[in-house]
Amino acid sequence: MQLPNKLYSYNSSTLSLIPVVLNEVKNEGIPVTELYERVKPFLKDATDFFSVMDCLYALRAVDLSDDGEVFICL
Domain-located, residue 4: no
Confidence class for position 2, pLDDT limits 50, 70, 90: confident
Any domain includes 3:
no
**Are 35 and 42 a contacting pair, CB within 8 Å?**
no
Q: Average pLDDT, stretch 14-21?
A: 93
Residue 53 in contact with residue 36, Cβ under 8 Å?
A: no
CB atoms within 10 A of CB 56: 22
In a domain, 57, yes or no: yes
- Where in the sequence is the domain holding 60, given as residue range(s)? 10-72
Global confidence as pTM: 0.87
Q: How many domains does the chain have?
A: 1
What is the per-residue pLDDT across 22-69, written as a single tens digit (0 to 9) for each? Answer: 999 987 889 999 999 999 999 998 999 999 999 999 999 999 999 999
